[in-house]
Amino acid sequence: MVTRGFVGRRQPPETGARLPPGQYLTDDFPILQIGPNPTVDMATWRFTLREGSRPIKAWSWAQFEALPRTTWHGDIHCVTKWSKFDTTWEGVSFDDILADAGISAPTGYLLAESHDDYTTNVPVADLVGGRALVATRYEGQPIHPDHGGPARLFVPHLYFWKSAKWVKGLRFTQTDTAGFWELRGYHMYGDPWREQRYIGD
C-alpha cells in the first residue's frame, strides 16, 4: 500500500495550475501493480458488459476494435503522487459501448473487472458524456502489458488506480461496491483535486 510519507520532487511554479494538491510532475510512466502481468490470450479475449451476474453483451477483440474510436489528450494523476502531462490515449468511449449494446446504464454504479481479478468501483456518472474510455492505444501504439494492455479502463479525472489495467469487462451493481483497493483503505471515489486517497480524506 502507498504510504502518506511518499514525497516527490519540487516543481516549477508554472506547472502548479495543472498539478492537483500533493502531486509532482514526472516525465516517466511509473509501473505500479499488485502482481505479475496476467497472460491474456487475444484469440479468446472478450470484453463483457454485465448487470450483476447477467451478461448484457460481449465483444471479441476484432469486434471491439471495430467500434467507433475516441482519442483523449491530457494529464493523468496517480495516488502515489506522480502526475504525467500531455498523454494521448485512444479507445472506445463508454458511451459508444452502451450504444453498441443498445442500452442505457441500468444502475448508477459499476465495477471494472480485470484479467488478474482486480476490481475497482466507478460511478456511471463519471463514465458517460465522454469522460471515460476503454483504451487500447497509448501514444499511438498498442498499450504495453506493463501499462495494462491490451485494454484498460481509462478515467483520467480520477486517480489512476480507477483506470483498471487488463480490463475484461464492466459489471453494473445496485450499490457503490468497493473494489480491491477500496476494500484495503483507499477512497471510494478518488478525486485528485480533493486529495481523496484514503478513507476519510
pLDDT exceeds cutoff 60 at 80: yes
What is the phi/psi pair of residue 167, to 5°?
A: -65, 140
What is the rounded CA–CA span in Å between residue 79 and residue 49?
27
How much is the CA Rg of the chain, to the nearest whole Å? Answer: 16
pLDDT digits (tens, 9 = 90+) for 23-77: 999 999 999 888 899 999 999 999 999 999 999 999 999 999 999 999 999 999 9
Please give the full DSSP string across 157-193, using - where no structure is assigned: TS-GGGS-TTEEEEEEESS----TTGGGTB-SS--GG
pTM: 0.90
> In the CATH hierarchy, which top-level class contains the domain 59-194?
alpha beta
What angle (nearest 5°) sits at the alpha carbon of residue 168, between those of residues 45 and 67? 70
Compute, in degrees rounded to 10, the torsion defined by CA atoms 100, 103, 107, 108: 60
Distance, C-alpha 126 to centroid of its chain: 11
pLDDT at 46 (0 to 100)? 98
